Chains A and B, each alone.
Chain A
Amino acid sequence: MEFRKTHRRTKRLLGTQHRSHAIAAICLLAASVVMVAGCDRPSAGAETPTRGMSLQQISKLPPSADDADKARLLHPIQYSTPQTPRVATDQVDALGHPITISCASCHSNFSERTPVVSAEKLQAFHVGLKFQHGSPNQQLTCLTCHHADNYNYLRLADGQPVEFRNSRSMCAQCHAAQDRDYEHGAHGGMNGYWDRVQGIQVRKTCIDCHDPHSPQFPHMLPNFKPLDRFLEPSLHHNQHEQKH
């Protein structure tokens, strides 16, 4: 009963009030149009040169007009250059400086008869050297890299001697991909300036990070953790256990 009454009333009123409904609808529509239009306006960074470009587009951008001038003004890249190694003798000179000798001092007297593949074979000298370079079936020996005729030099695959300071060119024989990445700043750490117009970029070299005899990058223990609120140690542990 009551329901029917309400219904009748509603129907009657809907008839008389359709105008206000229409007004309501139009207002809502107008508001949403303004909103959507507003959202399309680019935000504060409109002047950014690559705004809206895809990764592919960015990687194909042409050089800008002043790039040529820039090239003339660039600071050099300062590469780290390894020294020719010298061996300590445990003795000091008259001034108290330790006396070191070059590798050739000994090695010109001894020649390696059988190529040494494993560091365990080294019993008289270089004891304890960790040698783990290349896969076992590659059979790398000392003389793969060290020059048999002059131990003050390294050796390229074709027998050419290389100074220690240029060791990277020797490494590159096998690690060409890494060398190419290095050449383009995508391998190996650096310091100083990204903008070589403003300053010098200092580049590490292969052996700054990789021990040439055992080049695998060492394992590390992370010693810094941001302490997010509520991520107390106990919670860390729980989370950790559940995840593994």
Chain B
Amino acid sequence: MSQEQDTKNRDSNSETPQKRAGMELPILGQVSRRTAIKGAAAVAGVAALGVAAAPMLQKTAELSAAEFMQRHFKELTDEDKRIIFERLENEAQEKYDAEVQIGDHPPIRGVRFGYAINLSLCNGNGKCMEACHRENNHDRATQQSYIRIFEMPVGTTDFEQGNTSYDHEVPQKSHYYLPVQCFQCDNPPCVSVCPVEATWQESDGIVVVDYNWCIGCRYCMAACPYHARRFNWKEPEIPADEVNPDQGYLSNRIRPQGVVEKCHFCLHRTRVGKLPACLEACPTGARIFGDLMDPDSNIRWVLANKRCFTIKEELGTKPMMFYFFD
């Protein structure tokens, strides 16, 4: 209490000169002394701000003007792309000491990708996760991968009963194994929510991310019902000899810090006709990949002859990844 009164008293004392200063027309001597103190405080404040923000300023200095000004992928001409890809290749050389080729890989006309997994065959060995990790230049420290495998007790499809961190011999009795990754939904909620159109669905159904346009708000991660999206919490670390040099701009090129990424069905492979890395790595042959528009494709045969289901169908996302038991 006494302290407050004290302050009030001091207030009223300090009022007097001010009041005079205000009443009379500006008397330079008095005003400038006060202004000088204020100015000094402002300078000190700005200096303190500079010190506090130093790490940010340093980081910003690393950012090239070309990268800062880069337009959205859909607005780039072929010439723009050539220059950008070259810049990114040089960056990979500088940062990772790796010689890489970054390609464009547009979708093949009239193709729509579908993927199926035979849950009777999958034994949860995790080779697909590892192949994804290597193929897609994921951070080595976190052993990142777009795939997770759930060990599920038979008799339920409730993920709460599942476990991704099992580390025993597989398959275990009375369990089945359920790999999940991005389902490239036909009605993708992650695409709708993106405020800057940094993620979109291409004509072959693959939902891609422009890593140079994403602002990192992570709204898509909140919107995805399948935990398919990952965020680059820091810059990925990959030893030079482990970098996969066959890269796509919208797929497995080394991602920058602070952006969201996701499975892209290995589009740098699948759009030149190759099979995705996770399928090739699967020792049980549980994965079936192909073109939904081709009536003779493997995937079409599976859809027509196996009793397939999708996960969380009730959400209306229309996943393009199908599961079945034999």
A binding-site residues for B, Cβ under 8 Å: 39, 43-45, 47-53, 55, 58-64, 66-67, 70-71, 177, 181, 184-195, 197-199, 204, 209, 217, 219-229, 231, 236, 239-240, 243
| Contact status B129-A186, CB under 8 Å | no
Chain A residue, CB-CB nearest to B202? A45
Chain A residue, CB-CB nearest to B175? A244
Residues of chain A within 8 A of B161, CB atoms compared: 243
Q: How far is the CB of B295 from chain A (nearest CB, A)?
A: 5
- If the complex has contacts A186-B302, A221-B170, are A229 and B142 also in contact, measured as CB distance less than 8 A? yes
Residues of chain B within 8 A of A44, CB atoms compared: 191, 197, 200-201
B303 within 8 A of A: yes
A-B contact list, 20 entries, CB within 8 Å: A39-B192, A44-B191, A45-B188, A45-B200, A50-B186, A52-B318, A59-B304, A67-B295, A186-B116, A186-B305, A186-B306, A191-B280, A194-B275, A194-B291, A194-B298, A195-B108, A197-B273, A224-B126, A225-B143, A243-B161
Instruction: Name B139-168 residues within 8 Å CB distance of A.
Output: 141-145, 148, 161, 163, 165-168
B binding-site residues for A, Cβ under 8 Å: 108, 110-112, 114, 116, 118, 121, 123-127, 129-130, 133, 141-145, 148, 161, 163, 165-171, 186-188, 191-192, 197, 200-205, 207, 233, 270, 272-275, 279-280, 282-285, 288-298, 300-306, 308, 310, 318, 322, 326
Chain A residue, CB-CB nearest to B163? A243
| Contact status A224-B165, CB under 8 Å | no
| Contact status B142-A227, CB under 8 Å | yes
Chain B residue, CB-CB nearest to A56? B303
Q: How far is the CB of B273 from chain A (nearest CB, A)?
A: 3
| Contact status B166-A222, CB under 8 Å | yes
Residues of chain A within 8 A of B167, CB atoms compared: 222, 225, 236
Other than the given A45-B200, A49-B203, A187-B285, 11 more pairs (CB < 8 A) read A43-B192, A50-B293, A63-B296, A64-B293, A186-B118, A189-B282, A190-B279, A198-B272, A209-B284, A220-B169, A224-B133
| Contact status A48-B205, CB under 8 Å | yes
Most buried by B among A39, A191, A231: A191
Residues of chain A within 8 A of B171, CB atoms compared: 219
Residues of chain B within 8 A of A185, CB atoms compared: 288, 290, 298, 301
Q: How far is the CB of A230 from chain B (nearest CB, A)?
A: 11
User: How many A-B pairs with Cβ below 8 Å?
Assistant: 191
Residues of chain B within 8 A of A239, CB atoms compared: 163, 165
Chain A residue, CB-CB nearest to B160? A243
Residues of chain B within 8 A of A70, CB atoms compared: 294
| Contact status A48-B186, CB under 8 Å | yes
A70 CA / B110 CA spacing, docked (Å): 13
Chain A residue, CB-CB nearest to B186? A51
Chain B residue, CB-CB nearest to A42? B187
